[in-house]
Amino acid sequence: MNNNSIMKEKKSHDQSTNPNKDIQKLFNLTQFFKKDDRGISAFIPETTLPPETTLPNGMTIFYLRKEEVNVLYEQVQHYFRNGIEVHEYDTVFDVGANIGLFTLWAYQICKKNVTIYAFEPIPAIFNVLKANAERFNLEEIKVFFCGLSQKSEKATFAWFPNGSMLSTKYKDDLKELQQQLKESILQNLIELPREVRWLRRLPPFLQSFFIDKGLKKKFKIEEVTCQLQTLSEIIYQHNVKQIDLLKIDVEKSELDVLMGIKEEDWSKIKQIVVEIHNIEGRVEKITNLLSVHGFNQIIIEQEPIFRGSEIFSLYALRKPVFSGH
């Protein structure tokens, strides 16, 4: 690997002293103490529209769980930095689209002149994604009721009705994740939203009680069978000539998505932004994979609030190389 072409912001991996990004992704912690613990466990009937809310930018969207909207809204803005850009008439792939806030953000940036392929395998989440696409432009925003992986198959996902952002194909370590979350919350009470910072004033045994209660509610899961395809299959089926931005946020399946790209399709991808769970050296594996395929500017970040977790963001671009004559 050319160290001059790969720019990394190295962070500590000490998980015992810092918060885990999954805290933010699983909770807006104000959810903990709401009395309504209903979850949506199937498709919303086609005759019933999801509830609506208005984003800070004035856009009105459909949502699945209102308490997740602000987290998603803040998160999608972080993808557009370190040189990552989209322009009018670009083609964007949104892999792990959730309810479509990244898709709609790109759609707005490109002044509605953009082609977006958005992928979401969880039925209830997909239904909201589809409603948002239909509201704005179903011709330019193409939604796919599937996930992307390294091969085409059906797979069982763990879906969190009360915390949809953590729905995952990798469901074997949920007990470990629950314990890790509890420890991270207890160690980082100052990071909690203002509405629940009163937890800091409680004695430790009551802090533990309320957090256990909240986690038990959030970790109710339902298993759903989802269809997976490969990225190269989508490229072939839809005659995609170029992908100006490939965004991936798929809860530990990011390497699977990239392994589903055929050799001849890599040159079609101009920019990649991906959330990486650094399990078994995935940050290094993905960095090497992208470098081999011509991405010569790779930036790896971990936001200060997430130091010590396994969550990193990777931004990869192809930059012109000028000879020094």
Closest CA to 124 of 48, 73, 185: 48
Q: What is the predicted pLDDT for the residue at 321? A: 74
What's the order of all strands across the beta sheet hosting 153-159?
A: 147-148, 222-229, 153-159
Can you tell me the distance from the alpha carbon of 325 to that of 319, in angstroms, rounded to the nearest whole number? 18
Do the beta carbons of residue 248 and residue 143 sit within 8 Å?
no
Q: What is the predicted pLDDT for the residue at 30? A: 38
Can you tell me the distance from the alpha carbon of 211 to that of 218, in angstroms, rounded to the nearest whole number? 10
- The first and second tokens of residue 3, run together, are 């160290």
Do the beta carbons of residue 72 and residue 166 sit within 8 Å?
no
**Model confidence at 83: pLDDT above 80:** yes
In a domain, 74, yes or no: yes
Instruction: Tell me the pLDDT tens digit for each residue of 245-292.
Output: 999 999 899 999 999 999 999 999 999 999 999 989 999 999 999 999
In a domain, 234, yes or no: yes
Closest CA to 158 of 223, 102, 214: 223
In a domain, 186, yes or no: no
Q: What is the predicted pLDDT for the residue at 49? A: 85
CATH code of the domain in which 136 resides? 3.40.50.150
Strands 222-229 and 60-62, sheet pairing: unpaired
Full residue range of the structural domain in which residue 76 is found: 6-170+222-317
DSSP one-letter string for 117-132: EEE--SHHHHHHHHHH
In a domain, 281, yes or no: yes
In a domain, 193, yes or no: no
Number of domains in the chain: 1
Can you tell me the distance from the alpha carbon of 252 to that of 170, in angstroms, rounded to the nearest whole number? 7
**Model confidence at 47: pLDDT above 60:** no
- The first and second tokens of residue 309, run together, are 């977790």
**Model confidence at 305: pLDDT above 50:** yes
Q: What is the predicted pLDDT for the residue at 14? A: 40
Average pLDDT over residues 298-317: 83
Whether this prediction's pTM lies above 0.75 is answered by yes
Q: Report angle CA 287, 277, 234 to the nearest 5 degrees.
A: 70
Do the beta carbons of residue 81 and residue 164 sit within 8 Å?
no
Do the beta carbons of residue 121 and residue 196 sit within 8 Å?
no
**Residue 178 CA to chain centroid, in angstroms?**
19
In a domain, 185, yes or no: no
Confidence category of residue 24, pLDDT binned at 50, 70, 90: very low
